[in-house]
């Protein structure tokens, strides 16, 4: 089992090295096969580990293995260790499984790109980093994986590095993530000071910090900062929509299924520390609730197909944060899994549409594609229904698991339940808005001109992963059914005990209310966008300020610009002009020119006359003899 876990971790790394070293001696598609194949190897190994863990008693399901001592300073020893327990295996299955499907899809999507090998190598690097993150057995190794997924995300966002917008987006993502990394590191430092170790067993043992103390709050706050940045929650969320500059499979894998969920994983993994600082845990839930609403509202007015899905991702991760914020870790992770299925599905379907329209992403230029692309239309409907949480699709079960837990969690729980319920309405509304605008109605002239289809609309290479994900989106919810069984909660229990869900009438009320709101959202979307209607225009005219705020994404970008970028750039200009130029550059230049002047004067001593040199020698000898006489 340990061996399988190590192989699962290092297979993608081997793929990266292989693709990098092979260079142009392998074809571009073969590079993709290496990457996808390594992800498949990881998945198989993860399945093996999972089956082996199933055979054990729940209490014994924790194993760790250290390859070598990575860092050691005094008493602090940090090893390259992995931890195999239900939580890490759960994440490994999702990362490697969905990762394999997306990597395979990418072989078709990126086919023909000039630097395709670099793409596949980066993708494999990402899978390796994410597996490192989830398999790590101590916080520092987790941080290493954390940083590396940020790096892979940056590399892949500005994969098309000739585009200025892509480069800017990559920088933005990396810098915001770096802020989260910094708070994460500070939390680790505090923990090292308290416990002298970073291994999970040592750090999560009871009595590390007192319940409710400032130290506990600071540690949890640091961890939360990292999670918020990585998962694009308010207030560190502005990088995610820009990250859509990367290729669609990147958006599917990194910015929907795996990396952005790393924050949720972190909170689940360090739940002990969060429960020692209840105020911060509540804060996590609150931030999640705010993000649900904010992202849902912004998604209503987006016109880029990928950005709608990106805000949807932000919103759904808000649900996960609500779940872990209220202590319902199993529900949060369950939603993570189903979200990985249907969000990757939506992105990949959107990718097929974008490909078919020669890289056009503006939905105002699309329409009526449902008849031309039936397969894509159908899988998109599956993903949309799952996202809107309509039974029997998977999203229903996971979202209701979360809402059920929220309904059972006191006042804060009910506040967050309300946010989640409104969010369900918004989700259904914007999702089906997207569906109706893109796939229903009349084909726009642009679409008619530029549509070019292959067999299965995007080619078989892109179709089969999408089909598998559609299947999973449909059937993947049966793991945890209200009034039935909750397998996910049971599975995660040894690592993170989940808070109890609501029962009886409360649960009925929660399920029915959220379902009703979702259906209402679909109906409203059908009325406004499914048929030709000018209702959206009228709403916009009546509330122009609302429309403008939503279109400007609640002015977050402008605020951050004003708060951080403007002062920094003005300071930089000032320092260049008044400090660097006069204090450093000018003296250096003067130094150079004065040395040159002095050397010119000295070189005039070299006259070229041998006799003068000899005379100088003789004169020097004479002077030295006098000195010798005088001194000694």
Partner 1 sequence: MTNFIVWVVWVLAALSLLGSGIAVVLFQNPFYSALALIGNLASLAVLYLLLAAEFVAAAQVLVYAGAVVVMFLFVIAYLGGRADAPWAGGPSPQSLAAIVAAAAIAVEIVVVIAMKAGDQLSTPAKVDDNFGSPAEIGRLFLGDHLLAFEVTSIVLLIAAVGGVILGSAVPREKRS
Partner 2 sequence: MPGPSVAAYLILSVILFATGAFGVLIRRSPLIVLLALEIMLNAGNLALIAFARQTGTGSGQIFALTVMVVAAAEAVVGLGLIVAVSRRHVALDVDKLTTLRG
Closer CB to partner 1, residue 206 or residue 607? 607
Nearer Cβ to partner 1 (566/612): 612
Q: Which is nearer to partner 1, 483 or 628 (CB)?
A: 628
Which residues sit opposite 362 in a β-bridge? 304
Using the Cα atoms of residue 430, residue 434, residue 436 and residue 441 in order, give the sign of their dihedral: positive
Which of the listed partners (partner 2, partner 1, none) does 629 bind, with a CB threshold of 5 to 8 Å by partner kind? partner 1
Residue 44 is inside which H or E element, if any? helix 28-54
Total interface residues for partner 2 by CB under 8 A = 13
Interaction partner, residue 542 (partner 2, partner 1, none; CB < 5-8 Å by kind): none
Q: Cβ of 618: how many Cβ atoms within 10 Å?
A: 10
Of the candidate spans 276-284, 338-346, 374-382, 608-616, the one that interacts with partner 2 by CB under 8 A turns out to be 608-616
Minimal distance, residue 605 CB to partner 1, in Å? 16
In the bound state with partner 2, the residue whose beta carbon lies nearer, of 210 and 612, is: 612
454: helix, strand or coil: strand
Give min distance, CB of 601 to partner 1, in A: 22
User: Which of 202, 585, 614, 627 touches partner 2 (CB under 8 A)?
Assistant: 614
How far is it, in rounded angstroms, from Cα 487 to Cα 507?
Answer: 18
Pick between residue 603 and residue 632 the one whose CB is nearest to partner 2: 603
State the Cα–Cα distance between residues 134 and 86, nearest whole angstrom. Answer: 11
610 binds, among partner 1, partner 2, none (CB under 5 to 8 A by kind): partner 2
CA distance 518 to 521: 5
Q: How many angstroms from the chain centroid is the CA of residue 255?
A: 5
Q: Cα separation of 562 and 18, whole Å?
A: 45
The nearest distance, CB 602 to partner 1, in angstroms, is 22
Spatial distance between the Cα atoms of 131 and 128, rounded to a whole number of angstroms: 5
Contact 106, 249 (CB under 8 A): yes
Q: Could you tell me if 435 and 357 are in contact, meaning their C-beta atoms sit under 8 angstroms apart? A: no
Site for partner 2 in 578-607 (CB under 8 A): 602-607
**Shortest distance, position 577 Cβ to partner 2, whole Å:** 40
Write out the two tokens for 437.
């605008």
Q: Tell me the closest approach of the beta carbon of residue 613 to partner 2, in angstroms.
A: 10
Inter-residue contact 401 to 335 (CB < 8 Å): yes
CB of 631 to partner 2, least distance (A): 21
Q: Select from 608, 628, 629, 631 the one that contacts partner 2 (CB under 8 A).
A: 608
Q: Rule CB under 8 A: is residue 626 a binding residue for partner 2?
A: no
**Partner that binds at residue 626, options partner 1, partner 2, none, CB closer than 5 to 8 Å by kind:** partner 1
Partners of 79 in beta bridges: 69
Binding-site partner at residue 630 among partner 2, partner 1, none, CB < 5 to 8 Å by type: none
For partner 1, the closer CB: 73 or 621: 621
Smallest gap from Cβ 625 to partner 1, in A, equals: 4
609 vs 628, which CB is nearer to partner 2? 609
Tokens of 611: 């006799």
- Compute the least distance from the CB of residue 598 to partner 2, in Å: 13
Spatial neighbors of 100 by CB under 8 A, at least 6 apart, are 36, 39, 40, 42, 43
H runs (alpha helix) in 440-579: 445-450, 460-475, 487-492, 504-525, 535-542, 544-551, 556-560, 566-575
Selection from partner 1, partner 2, none that 606 binds (CB < 5 to 8 A by kind) is: partner 2
Residue 608, contacted partner among partner 2, partner 1, none, CB below 5-8 A by kind: partner 2
- CB-nearer residue toward partner 2: 555 or 613: 613
Q: Which of partner 1, partner 2, none sits in contact with 622, Cβ below 5 to 8 A by type?
A: partner 1
Cα–Cα distance for residue pair 234/559, rounded to 1 Å: 13
In the complex with partner 1, the residue whose CB is nearer, 114 or 621, is 621
Tokens of 601: 């004067």
| Rg of the Cα atoms in the chain | 30
Task: Give residues with Cβ within 8 angstroms of 176, minimum separation 6.
Answer: 229, 236, 238, 239
Q: Which residue has the tokens 């790590």?
A: 136
Which positions ≥6 away from 249 have C-beta within 8 Å?
A: 102, 103, 105, 106, 109, 110, 123, 347, 348, 351
Which residue of 585, 615, 623, 624 would you call a contact of partner 2, by CB under 8 A? Answer: 615
Residue 358, classed as helix, strand or coil, is coil
If the CB atoms of residues 605 and 629 are measured against partner 2, the closer one turns out to be 605
Q: Which two tokens stand for residue 280?
A: 């911060």
Nearest residue (CB) to partner 1, 21 versus 625: 625
Summarize as ranges the residues that interact with partner 1 (CB under 8 A): 611-612, 615, 618-619, 621-622, 625-626, 628-629, 632
d(Cα 316, Cα 297) in Å, to the nearest integer? 13
- Give which of partner 1, partner 2, none residue 628 binds (C-beta under 5 to 8 Å, depending on kind): partner 1
Burial class from Cβ neighbours inside 10 Å (0-12, 13-18, 19+) for residue 534 reads exposed
Nearer to partner 1, 568 or 618 (CB): 618
- Work out what residue 604 binds among partner 2, partner 1, none; the CB cut-off runs from 5 to 8 Å by kind: partner 2
Give min distance, CB of 630 to partner 1, in A: 11
Nearer to partner 2, 21 or 619 (CB): 619
Min CB(144)–partner 2 separation in Å: 58
Q: Which is nearer to partner 1, 73 or 610 (CB)?
A: 610
Give the integer Cα–Cα distance in Å for 26 and 579: 52
Q: Out of partner 1, partner 2, none, which partner does residue 512 contact, by CB within 5 to 8 A per kind?
A: none
* Nearer to partner 1 among residue 532 and residue 632 (C-beta): 632
Tokens 């790393």 sit on residue:
262
Q: How far is the CB of 600 from partner 1 (least distance, A)?
A: 25
CB of 626 to partner 1, least distance (A): 6
- Give the one residue of 452, 455, 542, 611 binding partner 2; rule: CB under 8 A: 611
CB of 619 to partner 1, least distance (A): 5
Instruction: Give the CB-side neighbour count of residue 3, counting CA atoms within 13 A.
Output: 0
Rounded CA-CA distance 75/92 in Å is 31
| DSSP code for 236 | S
- Side-chain-side CA neighbours of residue 137 (13 Å): 24
Distance in Å, CB of 632 to partner 1, minimum: 8
User: Could you give the string, one character per residue 396-425, with x where binding to partner 2 holds by CB under 8 A and - elsewhere?
Assistant: ------------------------------
> Contact residues for partner 2 (CB under 8 A)?
602-611, 614-615, 618
């Amino acid at each position: 089992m340990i061996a399988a876990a190590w192989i699962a971790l290092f297979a993608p790394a081997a793929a990266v090295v292989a693709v990098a070293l092979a260079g142009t001696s392998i074809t571009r598609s073969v590079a993709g096969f290496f990457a996808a194949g390594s992800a498949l190897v990881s998945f198989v190994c993860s399945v093996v580990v999972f089956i082996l863990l199933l055979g054990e008693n729940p209490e014994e399901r924790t194993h760790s293995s250290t390859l070598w001592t990575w860092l050691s300073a005094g008493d602090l020893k940090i090893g390259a260790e992995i931890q195999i327990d239900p939580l890490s295996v759960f994440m490994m299955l999702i990362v490697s499984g969905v990762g394999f499907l997306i990597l395979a899809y990418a072989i078709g999507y990126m086919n023909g790109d000039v630097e395709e090998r670099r793409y596949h190598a980066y993708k494999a690097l990402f899978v390796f980093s994410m597996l490192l993150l989830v398999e790590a057995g101590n916080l520092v190794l987790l941080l290493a994986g954390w940083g590396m997924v940020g790096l892979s995300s940056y590399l892949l966002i500005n994969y098309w590095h000739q585009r200025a917008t892509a480069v800017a987006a990559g920088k933005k993502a990396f810098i915001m993530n770096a802020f989260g990394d910094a708070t994460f590191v500070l939390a680790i430092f505090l923990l090292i000071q308290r416990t002298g170790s970073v291994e999970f067993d040592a750090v999560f043992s009871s009595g590390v910090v007192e319940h409710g103390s400032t130290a506990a709050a600071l540690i949890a706050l640091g961890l939360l900062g990292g999670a918020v940045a990585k998962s694009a929650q308010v207030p560190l969320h502005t990088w995610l929509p820009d990250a859509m500059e990367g290729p669609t499979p990147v958006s599917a894998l990194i910015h929907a299924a795996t990396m952005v969920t790393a924050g949720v994983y972190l909170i689940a993994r360090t739940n002990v520390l969060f429960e020692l600082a209840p105020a911060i845990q509540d804060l996590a839930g609150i931030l999640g609730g705010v993000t649900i609403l904010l992202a849902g509202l912004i998604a209503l007015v987006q016109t880029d197909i990928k950005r709608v899905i990106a805000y949807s991702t932000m919103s759904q991760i808000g649900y996960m944060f609500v779940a872990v914020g209220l202590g319902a870790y199993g529900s949060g992770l369950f939603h993570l899994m189903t979200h990985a299925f249907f969000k990757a599905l939506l992105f990949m379907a959107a990718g097929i549409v974008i490909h078919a329209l020669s890289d056009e992403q503006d939905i105002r230029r699309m329409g009526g594609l449902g008849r031309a692309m039936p397969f894509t239309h159908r899988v998109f409907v599956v993903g949309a229904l799952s996202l809107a949480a309509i039974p029997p699709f998977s999203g229903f079960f996971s979202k209701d698991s979360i809402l059920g837990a929220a309904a059972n969690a006191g006042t804060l729980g009910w506040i967050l339940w309300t946010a989640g319920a409104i969010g369900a309405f918004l989700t259904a509304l914007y999702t089906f808005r997207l569906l109706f605008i893109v796939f229903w109605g009349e084909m726009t002239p642009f679409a008619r001109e530029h549509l070019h289809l292959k067999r299965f609309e995007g080619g078989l290479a892109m179709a089969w992963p999408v089909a598998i994900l559609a299947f999973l989106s449909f059937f993947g919810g049966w793991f945890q059914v209200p009034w039935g069984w909750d397998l996910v909660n049971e599975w995660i229990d040894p690592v993170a005990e989940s808070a109890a869900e609501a029962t009886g009438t409360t649960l009925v009320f929660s399920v029915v209310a959220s379902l009703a709101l979702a259906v209402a959202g679909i109906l409203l979307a059908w009325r406004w966008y499914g048929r030709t209607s000018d209702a959206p225009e009228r709403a916009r005219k009546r509330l122009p300020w609302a429309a403008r705020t939503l279109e400007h994404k609640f002015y977050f970008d402008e605020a951050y610009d004003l708060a951080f970028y403007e002062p920094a750039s003005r300071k930089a200009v000032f320092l260049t002009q008044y400090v660097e130029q006069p204090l450093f550059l000018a003296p250096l230049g003067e130094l150079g020119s004065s040395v040159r002047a002095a050397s010119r004067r000295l070189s005039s001593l070299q006259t070229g006359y041998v006799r003068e040199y000899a005379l100088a020698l003789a004169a020097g000898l004479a002077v030295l003899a006098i000195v010798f006489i005088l001194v000694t």
